[in-house]
Amino acid sequence: MFEQVKDVSGKKQWKKVEVKLEDHVNVPKFPQGKSPEFYDECLSEYLSKIAMDQLPQSRPLWEIHLIKYPTSNAQGNIVFKLHHALGDGYSLMGALLSCLQRADNPEIPLTLPALNNTKTAESNNNNNNNISSFCRNLHGVVSGAVNTASDFVWSLLKSSVVEDDKTPIRSGEEGVEFRPITITTLVFSLQQIKQIKANLHVTINDVICGALFLGIRMYMKGTNQELMNAESTALVLLNTRNIGGYKSISEMVEPDADSPWGNQFAFLHVSVPELTVKEPINPLNFVLKARKLIKRKRNSAAVVLTGKLLDSLRKYRGPEVTAKYIHRTLKNTSMTISNLIGPMEQMALANHPVKGLYFMVVGIPQNLTITMVSYMGNLRVTVGTENGLIDAPKFKSCIQNAFDIIFKAALLSSPTLPETI
């Protein structure tokens, strides 16, 4: 195992060290013979506690927590607590999948959802079509350049001087990363998400973002109607590797690996659409607004430039300066949204079937964090909310309600829109 230490010049380097498992594996003790609902509460409090605890700097930055009590959702829980210095979500998910097997047949590798790279064909049968195609391409290049400049400058401003408004989901106070949080989970059917996608001719990401944004605005309206449309920005974390799946640990640590181990991510600032004052709410508008926002962001290279900026900061200014830049970026926005792709089949760890899979980013200067991972035909959403500021059950209910009304409305309506890949 490796840990970071300072050399004689003060620079941090990775050093190989011996690992004492007893220092890293924790088995909490709860009262015996209680109900699953009792252990639900114990697990929630325990997660909040370990989310606040700092990992000791004197040993490798990881811990494993074994909760051997039956909750409402599982017979037991395993929590991997890992410092971001070890790697980003892609690296850590690749390492986790290297330790797991298919529950039905360990000899067969786990599979991930296929990425749809199909593109709409365009006709070029005559000169008019050629001219039209040239104009569209020229317009795309110009608008892409404008969007790139605008998005990158906006990203720089949001990482330095421009802050979101104070709202029911953002206090704007210092030190929120050290405050207790509540971690709750939701499960959405990927089949239902695909039904919405097919009916509205949008993407899965459009559906997910539309439901999250609508739920957030519904919560803000229900908490403080005057602030329901205050300026709120979601910081969407993106993997910058040009890959189509995960690699094993041995592949990622190779000297010239095309998908190297480490932190290789960038972020995208996405404004949360406003909620109209009209009654009743048209839930499909949030999906369509999300589609418009995401489509515009896709026609921009701001994410690439942000990734290059972070790489340059790490290379020329060091990890501390980079961490401060990311910290300031997080602090100025209202929430973080991050997602990972998980296996389609059920996994097993040491021959124990894995019923659910979730992840959460803790210790960041935000009052709200939303993460998602697909697993076994479901999208598993984890929500981290600051205690005392955000009503976790109410917030979860708003997100669930937003998805439900979007699903019902989508089954009754099919707007005429060009299909988006």
Question: What domains are there in the chain, each with its CATH number?
Answer: 1-86 (no CATH), 137-348+355-412 (3.30.559.30)
Pairing of strands 368-375, 335-340: parallel
What pTM, to 2 d.p., does this model score? Answer: 0.85
Is the omega angle on the peptide bond into residue 280 within 30 degrees of 0, that is, cis? yes
Nearest CA-CA partner of 372 in 404, 340, 395: 340
Answer yes or no: are the C-beta atoms of 227 and 168 closer than 8 Å: yes
Q: How far apart are CA 39 and CA 45, in angstroms?
A: 10
pLDDT at 367: 96
Give the start-end residues of each E strand in 24-152.
25-26, 62-67, 77-82, 101-102
Is residue 379 within 8 A of residue 193, CB to CB? The reply is yes
- CA–CA distance, 3 with 243 (Å, rounded to integer): 28
Residue type for 346, please?
Answer: Q
Helices (H), 122-180: 127-158
Q: SS3 for 123?
A: coil
Q: State both tokens at 27.
A: 């088995």
pLDDT per position as a tens digit, 64-89: 999 999 999 999 999 999 988 888 88
What span, in angstroms and rounded, lies between the C-alpha atoms of 67 and 28?
6
pLDDT in tens, 318-365: 888 988 999 999 999 999 999 988 999 999 998 899 999 999 999 999
**Tens of each residue's pLDDT in the chain, 421 residues:** 555 566 666 666 666 767 788 889 999 999 999 999 999 999 999 999 999 998 887 788 899 999 999 999 999 999 999 988 888 888 888 888 888 899 999 988 888 876 544 333 333 445 455 545 544 555 556 677 888 888 889 889 988 899 999 999 999 999 999 999 999 999 999 999 999 999 999 998 899 999 999 999 999 999 999 999 999 999 988 887 766 678 777 778 787 777 788 878 888 889 999 987 766 678 999 999 988 888 887 778 888 888 889 889 988 888 889 889 999 999 999 999 999 889 999 999 988 999 999 999 999 999 999 999 999 999 999 999 999 999 999 999 999 999 999 999 999 875 544 444 3
Determine how β-strand 368-375 pairs with β-strand 352-353.
Answer: unpaired
| Residue carrying the six token digits 């690439």 | 304
Tokens 């829980």 belong to residue: 77
CB-based contact 152:336 (threshold 8 Å): no
Bridge partner list, 270? 234
